[in-house]
């Protein structure tokens, strides 16, 4: 099912077109936005200006044509503060229906707040957190508090940036006297409510809307981030926003237009917006705000889906927004689910069995699992260089619930699952800090080995155990069939993993290679495991002992040994040497129909 959601706001008109999937998630396939200043001069019960209505009708006609081009099943449209308050709001709604066929409904401030909260927690992923959501529009400000998607308290205040600018910004730059009046007005309108939220407490503050995102862009530009850098899920310190407020309030419009990151279309409203946001955050006692580009239109989609579940699809398969988002991206790129799941399972097993060496946490473990699920999606573009295509698709795949640096880490881990190893000559990798670079080296080494252990895409490996034998390590794999290709590929691609563990690695099938295992290998805990005189690798070493030390300890050139031990056979009886072929150039037989 395809849906279009339209927000007829006081400052801007927004539309998104989405594809709703059977699991009740959605993908944005198109979006449009026009700033028409519908509420300029028409707030507080006054009439909407004819010129503003005419501009809005033209934009909505364009929206209708775009929605029709996508063959949407339904258009959901709402009007907010400007239309809600205007004396000619009814006539404007009738004109919209007559000229475009779109039938908007006017929603209350409380309903607007609920829908915005729903979208914000969906976009940022706070399933168990108590979140305060702040949305600054042209005519009103919505502030809610709730656990997950459930709103406990919510209010809408007539404190939008157009309204405040028209009433209080009488000079350019803003005069101190006018700023004091503005602050007093904000306090009178929302002060008690903000104090109530501060006393109740919260885990995070989420900010949505163009005003807040534009102020976040000014902070990002001041920190040297490139223009158009993603803002979703970026955390911005309140102290940085306070500096932006003081800067913008001291400048003329012409000077504000030259400030890096300032949206020229919002420059005249930026002063009132900065004062309002800073005042709200200070009153809440917040240290930072998380930016979110999901707002009312996404809330409309989510609300529609929730009320039409039976008509759309069965209940969601993946309750966690991060995992759901990863699976959605993988499915869009037509991934190989069995292969991806197998590589992810083997990768996290290797991660768990080497915790004592790499010293990484469950956070990095999650990144590794998601990188494993997505490592081959670049084949959707082409097999050659698919690791680089995977990087591009992950960084531009609209993953929800992740901060930008998390997405970059997952993407780079997937990018380095084959071919070149992490290299400081690579721009994206070099831009990261040393700690994040070290994590990516470790995760990519694990992923590269795990991927080779399903080289045939047949899921022959049912489990694995890594043992420290002193001068080397043994990776013993349990198989459910002929895993010779997997063992060969693992031996070919073990070099990065050997640098991680600081010793040569030998790969061997267990003595019961073809005996089907009665159960899956459980996740390995952090406790030491001993078997036949071996010790589980890394458990007795201090956290992080490998790292750069591993590189120095590893011999300049390691010999790889592959052992295939079948029932009734010794290892490598005939002494024949495996033909040396680059495993990356041998595509899985199942993929190309070869037998």
pLDDT for 568 beyond 60: no
**161: domain CATH number?**
3.30.420.150
CA distance 302 to 24: 9
Structure-block tokens of residue 84: 């809600």
Per-residue pLDDT tens over the stretch 292-308: 999 999 999 999 999 88
User: Quick one: average pLDDT of 256-272?
Assistant: 93
Residue 45: per-residue pLDDT: 78
Boundaries of domain holding 373: 321-592
Q: Quick check: is 482 in a domain? A: yes
Q: Are 275 and 213 contacting, i.e. CB atoms less than 8 angstroms apart?
A: no
Total of domains in the chain: 3
Residue 538: per-residue pLDDT: 53
Residue 362: per-residue pLDDT: 96
Residues 161 and 178 grouped into a single domain: yes
Q: Quick check: is 130 in a domain? A: yes
CA distance 163 to 389: 47
**Which residues lie across from 35 on neighbouring strands?**
12
Residue where a domain stops, chosen among 106, 125, 155: 106
| Distance, C-alpha 21 to centroid of its chain | 19
**DSSP string covering 483-545:** -HHHHHHHHHT-HHHHHHHTS-EEEEE-TTTTSPPSSPPPPP-SS--EETTEEETTTTSPTT-
CA distance 159 to 138: 8
Per-residue pLDDT tens over the stretch 66-122: 999 998 888 999 999 999 999 999 999 999 999 999 999 999 999 999 999 999 999
Per-residue pLDDT tens over the stretch 483-493: 999 999 999 99
Residues 90 and 143 grouped into a single domain: no
Residues 531-535: contacts with CB within 8 Å, 24+ apart? Answer: 531/465, 531/467, 534/467, 534/468, 534/469, 534/474, 535/467, 535/468
Q: Quick check: is 220 in a domain? A: yes
Q: Using alpha carbons only, what angle is made at residue 133 by residues 131 and 139, rounded to the nearest 5 degrees?
A: 165
Per-residue pLDDT tens over the stretch 50-67: 999 999 999 999 999 999
Per-residue pLDDT tens over the stretch 232-253: 889 999 999 999 999 999 999 9
Per-residue pLDDT tens over the stretch 369-421: 999 999 999 999 999 999 999 999 999 998 988 999 999 999 999 999 999 99
Structure-block tokens of residue 58: 């033209």
Residues 47 and 66 grouped into a single domain: yes
Residue where a domain stops, chosen among 229, 260, 295: 295
Residues 71 and 126 grouped into a single domain: no
Residues 485 and 528 grouped into a single domain: yes
Q: Quick check: is 313 in a domain? A: no
Residues 541 and 426 grouped into a single domain: yes
Cβ count within 10 A of residue 463: 18
Q: Quick check: is 115 in a domain? A: yes
Helix ranges (H only) for 236-336 are: 238-249, 253-256, 270-284, 296-307, 309-312, 321-332
**542: domain CATH number?**
1.10.3210.10
| Distance, C-alpha 362 to centroid of its chain | 18
CA distance 560 to 96: 72
pLDDT for 254 beyond 70: yes
User: Quick one: average pLDDT of 350-355?
Assistant: 97
Residues 561 and 472 grouped into a single domain: yes
Residues 116 and 96 grouped into a single domain: no
Residue where a domain stops, chosen among 65, 83, 106: 106
Does the pTM of the predicted model rise above 0.75?
no
Residues 183 and 287 grouped into a single domain: yes
């Amino acid at each position: 099912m395809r849906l279009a959601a339209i927000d007829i706001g006081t400052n801007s008109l927004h539309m998104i077109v989405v594809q709703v999937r059977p699991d009740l998630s959605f993908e944005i396939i198109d979006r449009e936005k026009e700033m028409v200043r519908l509420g300029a001069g028409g707030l507080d019960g006054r009439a909407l200006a004819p010129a503003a209505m005419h501009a809005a009708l033209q934009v909505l006609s364009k929206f209708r044509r775009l929605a029709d081009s996508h063959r949407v099943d339904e258009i959901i449209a709402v009007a907010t503060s400007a239309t809600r308050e205007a004396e000619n709001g009814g006539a404007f709604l009738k004109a919209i229906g007559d000229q475009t066929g779109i039938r908007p409904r006017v929603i209350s401030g409380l309903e607007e707040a609920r829908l915005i909260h729903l979208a914000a927690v969906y976009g940022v992923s706070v399933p168990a957190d108590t979140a305060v959501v702040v949305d600054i529009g042209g005519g009103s400000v919505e502030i809610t508090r709730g656990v997950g998607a459930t709103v406990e308290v919510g209010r809408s205040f007539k404190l939008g940036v157009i309204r405040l600018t028209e009433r209080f910004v009488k000079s350019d730059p803003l005069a101190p006297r006018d700023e004091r009046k503005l602050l007093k007005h904000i306090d009178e309108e929302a002060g008690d409510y903000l104090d109530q939220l501060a006393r109740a407490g919260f885990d995070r503050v989420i900010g949505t809307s163009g005003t807040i995102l534009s102020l976040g862009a000014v902070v990002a530009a001041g920190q040297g981030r490139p223009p158009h850098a993603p803002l979703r899920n970026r955390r911005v310190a309140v102290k940085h926003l306070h500096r932006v407020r003081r800067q913008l309030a001291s400048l003329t419009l012409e000077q504000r237009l030259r400030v890096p990151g300032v949206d020229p279309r919002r420059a005249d409203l930026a002063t009132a917006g900065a004062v309002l946001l800073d005042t709200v955050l200070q009153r809440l006692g917040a240290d930072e705000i998380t930016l979110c580009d999901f707002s009312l239109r996404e809330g409309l989609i989510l609300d529609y889906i929730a009320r039409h579940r039976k008509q759309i699809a069965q209940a969601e398969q993946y309750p966690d927004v991060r995992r759901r988002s990863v699976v959605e991206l993988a499915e869009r790129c037509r991934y190989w689910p069995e292969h991806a799941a197998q590589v992810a399972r083997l990768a996290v097993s290797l991660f768990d069995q080497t915790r004592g060496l790499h010293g990484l946490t469950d956070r990095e473990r999650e990144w590794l699992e998601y990188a494993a699920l997505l490592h081959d999606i670049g084949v959707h573009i082409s097999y050659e260089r698919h690791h680089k295509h995977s990087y591009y698709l992950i960084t531009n795949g609209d993953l929800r619930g992740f901060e930008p640096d998390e997405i970059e880490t997952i993407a780079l881990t997937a990018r380095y699952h084959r071919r070149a190893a992490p290299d400081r000559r690579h721009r994206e990798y070099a831009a990261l800090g040393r700690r994040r670079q070290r994590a990516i080296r470790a995760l990519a080494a694990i992923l590269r080995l795990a991927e080779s252990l399903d080289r045939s895409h047949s899921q022959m490996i049912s489990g694995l155990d890594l043992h420290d034998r002193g001068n080397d390590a043994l990776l013993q794999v349990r198989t459910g069939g002929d895993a010779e290709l997997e063992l060969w590929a693992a031996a070919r691609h073990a070099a990065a993993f050997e640098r991680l563990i600081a010793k040569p690695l030998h790969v061997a099938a267990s003595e019961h290679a073809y005996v089907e295992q009665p159960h899956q290998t459980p996740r390995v805990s952090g406790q030491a495991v001993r078997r036949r005189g071996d010790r589980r690798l890394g458990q007795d070493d201090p956290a992080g002992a490998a790292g750069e030390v591993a590189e120095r300890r590893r011999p300049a050139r390691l010999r790889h040994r592959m052992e295939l031990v079948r029932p009734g056979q010794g290892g490598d009886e005939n002494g024949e040497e495996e033909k040396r072929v680059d495993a990356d150039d041998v595509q899985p037989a199942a993929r190309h129909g070869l037998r």
